[in-house]
Amino acid sequence: MHTEAEAHRRDAADPGRRHLFHVPPAEGGRYPEVAYLAGNSLGLPPRATRDELLADLDAWRRLGVEGHLEAERPWLPYHELLTAPAARLVGALPAETVVMNSLTVNLHLLMVSFYRPAGERTRIVIEDSAFPSDSYAVRSQARFHGLDPDATVIRLRPRAGEETLRTADVVDLLAAEGHTVALVLLGGVNYLTGELLDIPAITAAGRAAGAVVGWDLAHAVGNVPLALHDWDVDFAAWCSYKYLNSGPGALAGVFVHQRHLGRADLPRFEGWWSTEAATRFEMTPVSRPPATVEAWQISNPPIFAMGPVRTSLELFDSVGMTALRERSLRLTGWLEQLLDEVVPGRPLTVVTPRDPARRGCQLSVRIGTGSANELTKRLRHEHGVIADAREPDIVRFAPVPLYSTYHDCWRVADALAATVSEVGR
C-alpha cells in the first residue's frame, strides 16, 4: 500500500505551483486546507489576480473615460494583451485567436459561419455524452435552419459494454456517412469520462469527408497540449474558468483557422468590435472586418473580466504546457495507482481510459450505490476533499498539475476507503 509519507516524499521531489494559488480551508477532516480535485469544474484563484484586478479598477477611479488610452493597460486595445499567450496555449497563430464572450455564445457565433446545411449535407455529429449546453446548442441550430434536431444530430455512443469512444469508430462513421455531415463538433476532453479524443485524427477524417470540424475545448485547454493550427481544425472554442483559473463565468476563447480569415463568403454576425480598429471611431455605417478572427468579435470587451484571464495566461506562459503535461501524467498516474488499491472490493469503477495518452488530468469514478452528490458531500465535510459530482453516479477527480499535490491524491484514496464500504461488509 502507498503511504502518506510516500506522498510527502513525492511532493518534495516534484512540487507544483501551489504557493501561487489561494487554497480554501478545509471544513472537515484533519488537514487545514482542502484537497481540491475540482479544478475541472472551477479552477482556484491565482494569488496575483486580486492585486492586478484592483489595479485595473484603480485606473477607472483615477482616469475615468481617459483610461481607454491612458491606463497602464489601456482599455481600448486591452484584449490584444491576451491574444498571443492564448494563441500559444492552443497552438495557433495570433491572428487565429481571440478572447471574448462565453463558451456557448461563441459556439453559436461560430456555427452562424460554419454550420451551413445544404442538400443532403445537413447533419451534426456530437458525442452522446457531450456537455448538455453543446447538445442544446446544436439542436437549436438545427431548428433555426428548419431541420428536425432528432434526425439532424448524430450522437456518437461507445460500443456496448464500453465507457468511452474509439477513434476508429468515429473515423469509420465519417467515412461511411460523411457525405451527409455538415459539422463535426466534439469535446476535446469529454467532461464526464475525462477521455481525450484524438483531435488530429478525427479532424482529418471529418475534413476528408467534406465536413467542417470544430472542437469544444472547455476541458482540454490548459489541460493537454494543443496544436490547432497544425491539426487543421476549422474552429474551436473554450472557457477560461476551469483549468485556466480565471474565475466563475470567465471570458472564453475562440480559434478560427487561418484559411477562413478574410473570407467574404462566410456569414457572420457583426458589431462595433467586428470592424478594423484603425477605422472604428470613424463611425461609418458599414463594417470593415479585419482579416483576423477579431472579425467575429461583436461587443466592446469587458475589461474587468479580461484582467483575470490575462493574469492566468501569463502564468501558463511562464510555466509552459510541456512541463504541466509532464507533471500531469505523473500526478494522475499516482492517483490511478492509489485508486487501484481502493476500488477492488468496493462498488466503484474508474471509467476514464487507463492509457495516459487518452486522458487529461481527470479520473472519473462510477459509484454503484448511493448518489454522486451524497458521496461528494461526505468527502468534503468528513475528510476535507472537494471533488465534483455528475449525477446520478459519476464523481470526477482532477489533480491539476499547477496546484494539486501527491498528498491531495493520497487524501482522496484515504477518504474513499473510509467512506465507501467494501461489498459484503
Q: Which DSSP string corresponds to 273-335?
A: GGS-GGGGGG--SS----SSGGGG--S---HHHHHHHHHHHHHHHHH-HHHHHHHHHHHHHHH
pLDDT in tens, 292-346: 999 999 999 999 999 999 999 999 999 999 999 999 999 999 999 999 999 999 9
pLDDT band for position 424 (50/70/90)? low
Would you give the distance in Å from CA 57 to the centre of its chain? 28
Task: Write the Ramachandran bin of 264: left for phi over 0, alpha for psi from -120 to 50, otherwise beta.
Answer: alpha
Rg (CA), the chain: 22
Poorest-pLDDT segment among 144-153, 253-262, 271-280: 271-280
Tell me: pLDDT of 425 over 70: no
* pLDDT for the residue 391: 94
pLDDT in tens, 172-208: 999 999 999 999 999 999 999 999 999 999 999 999 9
Dist CA 188 CA 231 (whole Å): 13
Average model confidence (pLDDT) across the chain: 97
| Torsion angles phi and psi, residue 67, rounded to 5 | -65, -20
- Cβ-based neighbours of 379, under 8 Å, separated by 6 or more: 385, 386, 387, 412, 415, 416, 419
Task: Name which of 375, 421, 320 is nearest 37 in CA terms.
Answer: 375
Residue 366 · residue 392 · CB < 8 Å: no
Task: Name which of 186, 262, 258 is nearest 228 in CA terms.
Answer: 258
SS3 label, residue 26: coil
C-alpha cell at 254: 475562440
More confident: 335 or 1:
335
Dist CA 381 CA 2 (whole Å): 24
Tell me: pLDDT of 366 over 70: yes
Compute the average pLDDT of residues 288-294: 96
* Sign of CA pseudo-dihedral 410, 414, 415, 416: positive
Helix (H), strand (E) at residue 213: strand 212-216
Tell me: pLDDT of 279 over 90: no
Helix (H), strand (E) at residue 201: helix 199-208
Q: Which residue has the cell 501569463?
A: 314
Dist CA 280 CA 265 (whole Å): 22
Please state the pTM of the whole predicted model.
0.97
Dist CA 284 CA 6 (whole Å): 66
| Torsion angles phi and psi, residue 74, rounded to 5 | -55, 140
pLDDT in tens, 28-44: 999 999 999 999 999 99
Tell me: pLDDT of 358 over 80: yes
